Structure 1
Amino acid sequence: MVDRTGNRTVDDAVARVIDGERLDRRDALALLAQPVEDLAPAADYVRAYYGDDTVDACSIVNAKAGNCAEDCGFCAQSVHFDTGIDNYGFLGPEEILEAAKRAERDGAQRFGIVVAEKGVSKEKRPDEWDEVIQAIRLVRDETDVEVDASLGILTEEEAEILADEGINHYNHNIETSPNYFPEVVSTHEFEDRVKTLERAKAAGMDLCAGVILGMGEAPTDRVDAALALRDIGVSSLPVNILNPVEGTPMGEDGTADISTEEIIETIAVYRLLHPEARVRLTGGREVNLDADEQHLPFEAGADGMLTGDYLTTEGQSPGDDIEVVERAGLEPNTDQNEFDPEAVKARSSDDGAAVETAAGSATSNASEPNATDD
């Protein structure tokens, strides 16, 4: 971690960020062109200056899987694609609570209730909406984790209700830049996602919104997405890397269209554009980064992760995630949920315990072949 690299472009950008200046599009594109060995330590310096030396872990539960009417080209849960995942309706509140307790046990500070559909509608599906509210209350009252939600498009009334119920962060990823978005989704528009984020923010919730890298977007799209998120005002920026799903339009090649170096460079630039946000490495990191590379983004400005299983595939063990954090010279955050990292690592080393990861399918046995975060 250094404040001077000898690279004039990088050092000038860092100095301006420390002085409170916001970098612009030209700055960001110039930074993406710099050597990763200069960018990474500079971004790490900015992370430490504005934050601390902890990595904040969140976890999710796939509370309603499959049969989504939207056609997001990366998503295993779209009804438009034959991906072979298990479909199920909304899980009971008690099942969601059990998933939250696993997340709490495994060191997550935040727990997100995720539903795969355009939006949980209070008006169209009142019974399901009531179950969502019951689940939120159970997790809020019976665990120490912060309760987050990713329920699709919201009305103003729904956003206000969720805020009143204590939802901390509302997640609604923009996925990519406004320009590239039509290449990814055709059943709704980029602005639809922005409007939901604005409603959630106006209601008093913090925003968790991010991107998926490696979908064929250009470096300019990666920058434009980060700038759009800054305009919206996110406090948590999840960075997914495409995990190609067989049966989806983006699953044909079987690999993400991005290199390890590009991943690290993008993380670093996102840190410089979002100096005070949690830049969170999430879905696809295990399949796109070798085991001995996973710590590198956390040496380049990342300070958050999603731990446990993903929406339709297994993640690595929470103990392995803690070791990744420690290898980067950081430590797990325990501000919201105090836990013993050594106990989590010891439990994860037990072959039988590795199956019961914190999130993904609430039944703890997600075994579908392919997925990515959305």
Structure 2
Amino acid sequence: MVYETGNRTIDDAVRRVLDGERLDRRDGLALIAQPVEDLAAAADYVRSQFGDGTVDACSIVNAKAGNCAEDCGFCAQSAHFDTGIDTHGFLDPEEILEAAKRAERDGAQRFGIVVAEKGVSKERRPDEWEDVLRAIRLVRDETDVEVDASLGILTEEEAEILADEGLNHYNHNVETSPNYFPEIVDTHSFEDRVHTLEVAREAGMDLCAGVILGMGESPTDRVDAAVALQDVGISSLPVNILNPVAGTPLAEDLGGSADITTEEIVETIAVYRLLHPEARVRLTGGREVNLDADEQHLPFEAGADGMLTGDYLTTEGQSPGDDIEIVERAGLEPNTEANDFDPEAVKERTADDAAVDTAAGTATEVQTDD
């Protein structure tokens, strides 16, 4: 079957993707300049050819919050900025297990253990390292969700241990393009992030690495970030949209709102689908504050087939039931491969209890300072 929009640039790109060819930077730059309606339709078609018609949901827990020594300009957890968030050391592994069980109940297929620090360290913080491993084992053994983690920079030894413990995906976002990265972070480099991804991949873990849109980057930067990830070899590409937190440099620089439109969000998702046809392109943080309720289905009609459900690291999300309805509005179904849950039961429970705890993230309700 030949797919045609009547737009030669888009139709040629779709044909080449379906023939197994990898698109390059020139293709990405040409595509992101095309009409969003044609791009979205083409990306949705490519998703239908490579995917299974489902949206994969993941959830996270903020396992160690705040006091991070890095100076990422978007991050409320950096010790460099006064953002007023609650901070705590690494959670008791049993608390992480409870968050994973909430995620499982709410339909997540994956559960991510996230820490705010440059990197866990087997050598410098052995007690914390052992707690990380215990948490992985508990989630692995006592739930059906696949356990992932975002633990910062890794050594080769640490990566091999995590892989041996059954960690499925390692998350380490590149955030933006190599060119724009120094505008956002001073304390480490884009190359540092790529190196950690390579270490995790060599140890045998699948990779989850993506971006934050709306930080003042150009459309070219958005393309360049996705192109850089092609060589890394990711299977999940999370797309965050900046939710500026008061006290961070980006909130001050951008006046409290992300520098991106709905149309730009949709077209970027579509281009990412064409550049990464076999990855889960996952809509994650910031979607609720940057997309109106009646717009949130649009990225899933433009190639997205993954989402983060529940709360985020320092901000609240929306209910898992609402997320399922967004997926269904886009004509897709929740993925039940790893966690065979009942979507209708999740929606019903959400409707019955407006105050129900969401899957993870801030819902751990830890208020201690450490």
SS in structure 2 at match of 1:349: helix
Q: Distance in 2 between matches of 1:103 and 1:5?
A: 40
1:25 aligned residue: 25
Q: Deviations over 1:306-333 (max 9, x none)?
A: 0000001110000000000000000000
2:141 aligned residue: 141
| 2:287 aligned with 1:304 | no
Contact 1:61–1:359 (8 Å) recurs in 2? yes
1:305 partner letter: M
Contact 1:96–1:362 (8 Å) recurs in 2? no
Which 4+ stretches in 1 moved above 4 angstroms? none
2:215 aligned residue: 215
TM-superposed CA distance for 1:350, in Å, is 2.4
- Pairing 1:314-325 to 2, within 5 Å after superposition: 314-325=316-327
Q: Distance in 2 between matches of 1:304 and 1:71?
A: 29
TM-superposed CA distance for 1:23, in Å, is 1.0
1:297 partner letter: P
- Pairing 1:159-308 to 2, within 5 Å after superposition: 159-252=159-252, 253-308=255-310
Q: Deviations over 1:175-217 (max 9, x none)?
A: 0011100000000111111110000000000000000000001
Contact 2:313–2:362 (8 Å) recurs in 1? yes
Q: Distance in 1 between matches of 2:133 and 2:364?
A: 20
- Single out whichever of 4-13 and 301-310 deviates more from structure 2: 4-13
Q: Distance in 2 between matches of 1:34 and 1:364?
A: 44
Contact 1:210–1:237 (8 Å) recurs in 2? yes
- Single out whichever of 345-354 and 132-141 deviates more from structure 2: 345-354
Contact 2:140–2:146 (8 Å) recurs in 1? yes
Contact 1:357–1:364 (8 Å) recurs in 2? no
SS in structure 1 at match of 2:364: coil
Q: Distance in 1 between matches of 2:302 and 2:261?
A: 15
1:372 aligned residue: none
Contact 2:61–2:364 (8 Å) recurs in 1? no
Q: Distance in 2 between matches of 1:47 and 1:260?
A: 20
Which of 312, 315, 319 is the equivalent residue of 1:313? Answer: 315
Q: Distance in 2 between matches of 1:317 and 1:288?
A: 17
Change beyond 3 A, Cα 1:345–1:365? farther
1:106 aligned residue: 106
> What TM-score, normalized to structure 2?
0.97
Q: Distance in 1 between matches of 2:27 and 2:191?
A: 25
Q: Distance in 2 between matches of 1:322 and 1:365?
A: 27
TM-superposed CA distance for 1:27, in Å, is 1.0
Q: Distance in 1 between matches of 2:354 and 2:97?
A: 22
2:155 aligned residue: 155
TM-superposed CA distance for 1:351, in Å, is 3.2
Q: Distance in 1 between matches of 2:365 and 2:161?
A: 30
Q: Distance in 2 between matches of 1:13 and 1:279?
A: 18
TM-superposed CA distance for 1:277, in Å, is 0.2
1:98 partner letter: E
2:13 aligned residue: 13
1:370 aligned residue: none
Q: Distance in 1 between matches of 2:229 and 2:300?
A: 20
2:82 aligned residue: 82
> What TM-score, normalized to structure 1?
0.96
2:330 aligned residue: 328
5+ residue gaps in structure 1?
367-374
2:364 aligned residue: 363
Contact 1:318–1:348 (8 Å) recurs in 2? yes
5+ residue gaps in structure 2?
none
Q: Distance in 1 between matches of 2:248 and 2:3?
A: 44
Aligned residues: percent identity? Answer: 85
Number of equivalences: 364
Contact 2:88–2:366 (8 Å) recurs in 1? no
Q: Distance in 1 between matches of 2:227 and 2:19?
A: 19
Q: Distance in 1 between matches of 2:360 and 2:130?
A: 22
TM-superposed CA distance for 1:24, in Å, is 1.3
